[in-house]
Chain A
Amino acid sequence: GENVEQHPSTLSVQEGDSAVIKCTYSDSASNYFPWYKQELGKRPQLIIDIRSNVGEKKDQRIAVTLNKTAKHFSLHITETQPEDSAVYFCAASINYKLSFGAGTTVTVRA
């Protein structure tokens, strides 16, 4: 099955700086790559996604890049704010189930 690795496991940034989270996947058939933000005890919230026919996608302060050849994708958050503090999960999908990375705990220092 699909195996998704995510790095780093924790990330502390100064408010206003950028944050980058990287993920790799194992199954070249994966064709959909969403990113979720989860606050403690809350539901995972879809923040951005990218499909295998696209290399980059941006939505305001967040962007995702995908390199299918290398089988890795990354989340970029610019101008970080305290409300960006949360656990971020990357995931990969072949048609149905999502296989998640282990998560990155992001802390934005004021």
Chain B
Amino acid sequence: AAGVIQSPRHLIKEKRETATLKCYPIPRHDTVYWYQQGPGQDPQFLISFYEKMQSDKGSIPDRFSAQQFSDYHSELNMSSLELGDSALYFCASSLGQGPYEQYFGPGTRLTVT
């Protein structure tokens, strides 16, 4: 079965640079979530979209923005990168609005030097 696709899988950036992470949900899934996971920590919710509209917002820095496109893929844009932004960034998708099963992608490992 098709899974969530994330690109790139690894990304190395310098401080103050920008980064764009992409997420392609499972086919027919209309809801996308972004999570950030630091080393040894649990995933922290950043933001979610349902039918191309922001549905919920968590601890996402103002330097970050995201959107969901007409084909349901999503992009997380990160600017003025800081060392503390180094983490695994996961995208998850689900079918429908509400408490439905969320399936995670393989993640993007971002390293800021």
Contacts and interface: CB of A to CB of B under 8 A. Distances in A.
B95 to A, nearest CB: 13
B99 A94 contact: yes
Contacts of B104: 36, 43-46
Given A44-B90, A103-B42, A95 B101 contact: no
B98 A98 contact: no
A31 B101 CA distance: 12
B59 to A, nearest CB: 10
B27 interface: no
Nearest to B45: A97
A98 B90 CA distance: 13
Interface in A33-56: 34, 36, 42-46, 49, 51
Interface string A87-103: 00100011111111111
B102 A46 contact: yes
Interface string B37-81: 000011111001010000110100000000000000000000000
B interface, how many residues as a size bin?
A: 20 to 34
B99 A31 contact: yes
A97 B43 contact: no
A51 B90 contact: no
A97 B105 contact: no
Contacts of A51: 99
A57 to B, nearest CB: 13
B45 A101 contact: no
B25 interface: no
A24 to B, nearest CB: 15
A71 to B, nearest CB: 16
5 contacts: A34-B101, A36-B104, A43-B105, A97-B48, A100-B42
Please name the 8 residue pairs, one residue from A and one from B, whose CB atoms are nearest each other, closest first: A32-B99, A100-B42, A97-B45, A96-B56, A43-B104, A93-B99, A44-B104, A96-B48
Interface of A: 31-32, 34, 36, 42-46, 49, 51, 89, 93-103
